[in-house]
Amino acid sequence: MIDVNKIRKDFPILRKKVNGQNLIYFDNAATSQKPSKVINSISEYYFNYNANIHRGVHFLSQEATDQYELSRKKIQKHFNISKLNEIIFTSGTTHGINIVASGYSSILRKGDEIIVSALEHHSNIVPWQMLCERTGSVLRVIPIKMEGSLDINAFHKILNGKTKLVVVNHVSNALGLINPIKDIIDMAHKFGSKVLIDGAQSAAHFKTDIQLLDIDFYVTSAHKLCGPTGVGFLYGKELLLNEIPPFQGGGEMISDVTFQKTTYADLPHKFEAGTPNISGGIAFGFALDYLNEIGLENIANYENELLKYCTNKLNEIDDIEIYGNSKNKIAVISFNVKGIHAYDIGSILDKLGIAVRTGQHCAQPIMDFYQIPGTVRVSFSFYNTKKEIDIFILGLEKAIKMLR
Ligand SMILES: *Cc1c(COP(=O)(O)O)cnc(C)c1O
């Protein structure tokens, strides 16, 4: 069970007024708010032990290194990863995807195939298109069905011996649908393909067991799970990470540098060139601690309640179309009101202190599929309440009246 009133006290920003109203933050799929525990861990680092890591013999450097590496261990435990050196700190999901896409330039040959899904965020489409341009590989797409879920039969037909990589998100940021990644991974492995899972939208809402699912590459961002922006991690099976070349050259990622030849450091440092986001990495660990204190199962149950509550209320309003109607979804609702532009609804809600997202949600192919310019998206977190949903529904009804 979740004590939402107690939890809300952990998030200082929720006390904020926007346009004279209590802030109602329903844009959690874009980024979540941060609890004091996480915010404080950042100032604590700068107040008390700011130093560069992995290099100094001195006291502060050791303390900073210990804290940063402790975060790596927290990630290992949370996601059930076999080896610490399979965890690469990144600046976020986008960075992680680009490390793999860039590395695969040296593995893919002309005519090889990469499969993406039609539900992807642009950051899980564009790097693969760029990789195909560099290598002459072919990008193939798993289509979606009208209700928004992936057409798994079509996936089976596209998959073949030339498929080298399948890349798919665990949860779609635009529609909130949970994809059947276990089936996708097992099927891809039968054809010898590797699989990259984009966990940016799922990690805040339920636990992912990387070893159990036999995931080859996994990426996520801290900022969607109560952590800071500018940090995330890439997981790759040790064997696979050893196969691909470094993404960036620089300090930290080398073992020996001469002008004749440079040799690279071992994992994970081979992919961690330069001074990282140290405070961010440390705060990432605190964010995982925070989520685990509440419990991911409690979070999922409570958010699911909010999802049902809001979906029912929305369905009572005339002319509302919700996109992505699957039972398997997180607390994200993407919708339109017939004859009204999503942006206009968003603007009026903003005047009422309610933050929602409008537009394409970095997933233009989905909008093209439904032949719409965009949607209004509300996305909940465990610190949202039914009372906030009531206020949102009243605001939406008011907006519809004004815009009709
Ligand atoms: C947010 C998001 C991304 C991009 O994450 P960044 O933190 O901006 O790198 C990628 N995929 C999905 C599904 C997302 O929700």
Question: How far, in Å, is the centroid of ligand 1 from the Cα of 200?
Answer: 5
Nearest CA to ligand 1 atom 2: 200
Which residues lie below 8 Å from residue 183, measured CB to CB, with a gap of 6+? 152
Residues of the chain with pLDDT under 70: none
Among candidate residues 132, 226, 310, 362, the one labeled active-site is 362
The per-residue pLDDT for 325 is: 87
- Looking at residue 139, its pLDDT comes to 98
- Per residue, the 3-state secondary structure of 247-283, as one string, reads CCCCCCCEEEECCCCEEECCCCHHHCCCCCCHHHHHH
* Domains of the chain in sequence order: 4-30+296-403 (3.90.1150.10), 39-292 (3.40.640.10)
* 310 flagged as catalytic: no
pTM, full prediction = 0.98
Distance 324 CA to ligand 1 centre (A): 19
Single out the residue of 153, 53, 146 nearest to residue 369, CA to CA: 146
- From 168, 172, 198, mutation site for ligand 1 pocket: most ligand atoms within 8 A of C-beta: 198
How remote is the CA of residue 32 from the centroid of ligand 1, in Å?
A: 12
pLDDT of residue 327: 87
Give the CA dihedral 323, 156, 158, 371, nearest 10 degrees: -10
pLDDT per position as a tens digit, 234-289? 999 999 999 999 999 999 899 999 999 999 999 999 999 999 999 999 999 999 99
Q: How far apart are CA 323 and CA 351, in angstroms?
A: 25
